[in-house]
Chains A and B, each alone.
Chain A
């Protein structure tokens, strides 16, 4: 039975890789191109620190067995709950230093630095 479930799980993962979509309220119907992908795995955001340009879109992917969120400390952005394999995207429009954390596991912290757009 467990083996069967793993096959199903693997099939779902394959579907994600192929089509870039996954059912869930947080997940857009289609993932848009993004400048950066943050993977959530083993209770860590990876990369922990990253720099992008204003207007860049960032993709957050929960690759962990546990649910997580990507929530700005200043609450300017919040993925809400991301279950395993769920994805969320956010456009950082304004320059600044954005510290964020997981609401469910607040010791998980990371930073995105948004620089002025080149144009």
Chain B
């Protein structure tokens, strides 16, 4: 893989990105199976409990996000939260987040981020654990798409890490899928080496990416970096999401990662959510919506 290929279509923006995947896109490869009108929404990094000047009202911006999703003209099939629901894994923070997510008029899927498993994953699992996924990772099929929901924040000792058990699960799960089936993967930390200097990578993510290469079209949706970054590597399209709480610097644009102060009137423009929908021409549209 040439570096130039890997970095193809790299883009960074605070919000407002719209891209369509008609020609080689995630769903266009198999229009006969993909359900027309099917859509879902991704939200990420709500950091309930954060209370610094970069956003003194994360409850307010998270609530605003939920209200905006409920007002979408096309009701999504579900909402996935790709982690860092809370800032410090406190039960009260999970309670608050659960109450706000409970206002959604559609079901939600919630992945943990490293901020949700500080000390142990128990508080997260108590709030959002699933009986059908005792280890946290699972797969499901909706709208003609095969979804994988992964956890790369357990054993978080160097970078994001999936672990041997989860890697075995991924490989076995994908082995049962046809190459023409559109695949969508959720995980908190980027599965590829987005910016390892800041830990924005998954130590053992390469095995997952290897297992994904034989498919016609794959979309990997992550959080963690609090900004929209898109990259395409062959058949795999990566997209990290904006936070609903606060932005972070672009990779290498500051000495360190962390909350980025923007002018008060600019905050809502860099926070938001993402919708993924199948348009009437069977092309997938991934649309990032800002809150302001």
Contacts and interface: CB of A to CB of B under 8 A. Distances in A.
Q: How large is the interface on A (under 10, 10 to 19, 20 to 34, 35 or more residues)?
A: 20 to 34
Interface stretch (A29-37, A45-53, A78-86, A111-119): A78-86
Nearest to B56: A5
A17 interface: no
Interface in A1-37: 1-2, 5-6, 9, 25
Contacts of B255: 42
A69 interface: yes
A101 interface: yes
Contacts of B53: 2, 5-6, 9
A78 B88 CA distance: 13
A106 B199 contact: yes
A6 B264 CA distance: 13
A69 B199 CA distance: 16
Contacts of A103: 114, 118-119, 156
Interface of B: 49, 51-53, 56, 87-90, 114-115, 118-119, 156-159, 199, 255-259, 261, 263-264
Contacts of B256: 42-43, 66
Nearest to A44: B256
A105 interface: yes
Given A42-B255, A67-B88, A106-B156, A1 B264 contact: yes
Contact of B264 (A2, A67, A78, A81): A2
A104 interface: yes
Contacts of B87: 67, 81, 83
B157 A104 contact: no
A60 B153 CA distance: 24
B158 A106 contact: yes
A65 B88 contact: no
A106 B156 CA distance: 7
Nearest to A73: B157
A64 B258 CA distance: 9
Contacts of B158: 106-107
B261 A104 contact: no
Contacts of B90: 25, 81
Contacts of A80: 88-89, 118-119
Contacts of B264: 1-2
A107 B199 contact: yes
Contacts of B118: 69, 80-81, 103-104
A119 B88 CA distance: 39
Nearest to B160: A106
Contacts of B258: 64-66
Contacts of B56: 5
Contact of A105 (B49, B199, B259, B263): B199
20 contacts: A1-B264, A9-B53, A65-B52, A67-B87, A69-B119, A80-B88, A80-B89, A80-B118, A80-B119, A81-B87, A81-B88, A81-B89, A103-B156, A104-B114, A104-B115, A104-B118, A105-B199, A106-B156, A106-B159, A106-B199
